[in-house]
Chains A and B, each alone.
Chain A
Amino acid sequence: MADQKQSNLNVDLEIDRLVHEPVRLKILAYLSAVESADFVFLVSRLSLTMGNLSAHISKLQEAGYIQVDKSFKENRPHTMLSLTELGSAAFSKYRTGMLQLLG
C-alpha cells in the first residue's frame, strides 16, 4: 500500500494546459462521446455564453484538437464540432496521466 502511494508520487506527469482547463476538458469529454456535435448542443450542456464557448473552441481549434465545420441550415448558421485524431490522443493521454497520478 505504502509502495503504491510512493510509486504514484513518483509519476512524472506532463500536463497539457490546454486540456487541463475545466471548460475545455468538458468540451473534449463531450466530443469524445459523439462523432460530432453542434455549437448549440455544447452551449446547452455546458451552460456557457456563446462568446465564452467560442473563445475556448478557438483555442482548441488552433491547437488542432477539434475540427469546426461551419454551414447554413435553413438560413441559420450551423456549426458542427468534432474531435480530431490529435485531440483524441491528447484527451486520452491526459486521462491516462491523471489516472496514473491519482491511482
Chain B
Amino acid sequence: MSENINLKEIKRQVYLFYSEDGLADLAIGLMIFGFGIFLVVDLPALVGLAGLIPFLVWYFGKQSLVVPRIGTIQPNQELKKQFVGFFSNMCLIGLGVLILFLLNRRSGEAFLSRHPLILFGFALGLAISSLGMILKTSRFYFYGLLVFIAMAGGELLGSSITAVDPFLVAVICTGGIILLIGSVTLIRFLKKYPVVSLKGW
C-alpha cells in the first residue's frame, strides 16, 4: 500500500477550494453578462446590480452548495496577503486607467481617447487573470484574454457596422461563455462531491 504526499499538490488542493466549484466563474460571467444587458436595455443606473447580484450568487452558493460538500477553510496569512495585494493592485490599475483616460481625453485625437473601452477591457482582463494567478486556476487566464479581446474588438469595430453596438454584443457573448463554463464546472462539482452527512456523528 502506498500513499502519495505532495506538499505542492496539497497547497493546490487548498487553493482549489475557491475555484473548483465554478461559482467564481458564474459570478464573473454574471457580472459581465449583466453589465452588457443593463446597457442594452438602456438602464445604466442599474449597472451597480451587475456587481451586487454576482456577489450574492457566489456567497449563498458557497454556503448552500459548497460548504455541505467540501466544508470550509479560513485562509492563512500568506493567502490573505495575496488577496489584499490583489485588491490593492486592482485599485492601482483602476486609478492608472482613469489617469490614462483623462490624460488622453485632453489630447482629443489620441487613439485611447477615441476608444476608452479598450483600456477598460484591458484592466478587467488583467484583474480576472490576476485572480487566476492567485487561485492557481488557468481557465481564468482564458477569461481575462477573452474579456480583453471582446471589449477591444467590439470597441474597435464601432457602431457603424451593425445596428446593434458590437461592443455590447461582444460583452454579452463573453459573459454568456463564462456563465456556460461556470455552470458546467458547478454541475461536475455537484456530481463529484455528495453532501457529507454528519447525522449521528
Residues of A within 8 A of B (CB): 22-23, 25-26, 29-30, 33-45, 50, 76-77, 80, 95
Nearest-neighbour CB distance to chain B for A21, whole angstroms, equals: 9
Residues of B within 8 A of A (CB): 3, 5, 7, 10-11, 13-14, 17, 67-77, 79, 193, 196, 198, 201
Tell me what chain B mostly uses at the interface: helix, strand, loop, or mixed: mixed
A80 to B74, CA, bound (A): 9
Which residues of B are found within 8 Å of A37, using beta-carbon distances? 71-74
Contact at A39–B76, with CB atoms within 8 Å?
no
Known: A41-B17, A43-B196, A44-B196. A29 touches B5 (CB 8 A): yes
Max chain B C-beta neighbours (<10 A), residue from A35, A36, A42 = A35
Contact at A30–B10, with CB atoms within 8 Å?
yes
A43 to B14, CA, bound (A): 13
Which residues of A are found within 8 Å of B76, using beta-carbon distances? 33-35
Which residues of B are found within 8 Å of A41, using beta-carbon distances? 17, 70-73
Nearest-neighbour CB distance to chain A for B136, whole angstroms, equals: 12
Question: Beyond the given A33-B76, A35-B75, A41-B73, could you list 16 further A-B residue pairs with CB under 8 A, ordered by the A residue number?
Answer: A29-B5, A30-B14, A33-B10, A34-B73, A34-B79, A36-B74, A37-B72, A38-B72, A40-B68, A40-B72, A40-B198, A41-B71, A44-B196, A50-B201, A77-B198, A80-B74
